[in-house]
Amino acid sequence: MDALQAILTRRSIRQYQPDRPIAPETVEMLLRAAMAAPSARNLRPWEYLVVEDRQVLDSLSRVHPHGRMLAQAPLAIVLCADPGRQPLEGYWLQDLSAATQNLLLAAHALGLGAVWLGVQPRPEREAALREVLGVPDPIRIGMVVAIGHPAESKEPVDRYDPHRVHRERW
């Protein structure tokens, strides 16, 4: 699958085939794709927490208000940042967002399904995840990506809207 096809056909997948783990080399490829993302001043403040333990995934599914699918996902990658490595105020979240998009596209290109679960800007979500995962201060939690072998398929959606395109000036 080429890059443009991956971008135009990727969908959020929330149902996964039970008992099909993700191979370690595939997890590494997903992380490599995420870490290939651009970051402000190339400071790469990210830290990745790979979660494959069923009890931890089940706990995450209970504390994230939209994380039900984590109860059947074989893998979650929690994208975190060390703000001390990104002194430009607010840019760590942008850096993690770029990494998340790479991760989602890589999962799709590898035949996996994935969905982005937002954590920021909700302090209560970050606190709940921090408690379950033991994430230390000052590390920030940006988002969670649930990943698995898809148990659903969705047709691509063309979201192009020419009315939202402005040229030269508003």
Torsion 7-8-13-16 (CA) sign: negative
Number of domains in the chain: 1
Query: Is residue 118 classed exposed, middle or buried when 0-12, 13-18 and 19+ CB atoms within 10 A define those classes?
Result: middle
Residue 169 lies in a domain: no
Q: Which tokens go with 26?
A: 């595939």
Residue 170 lies in a domain: no
Residue 16 lies in a domain: yes
Q: Which residues contact 90 (CB under 8 A, 6 or more apart)?
A: none
How do residues 33-69 score in pLDDT, each as one tens digit?
999 999 999 999 999 999 999 999 999 999 999 999 9
Question: For residue 167, what are the CA distances in angstroms to 70, 102, 160, 161?
Answer: 42, 28, 15, 14
How do residues 9-41 score in pLDDT, each as one tens digit?
999 999 999 889 999 999 999 999 999 999 999
User: Any alpha helices (H) in the chain, and if so which ranges?
Assistant: 3-9, 24-35, 54-63, 91-109, 123-133
- The CA distance from 122 to 99, in Å, is 20
Supply the range of the domain harboring residue 159: 3-164
Beta bridge partners of 144: 78, 117
Residue 53 belongs to domain with CATH number: 3.40.109.10
Q: In the chain, pLDDT over 90 holds for what percent of residues? A: 95
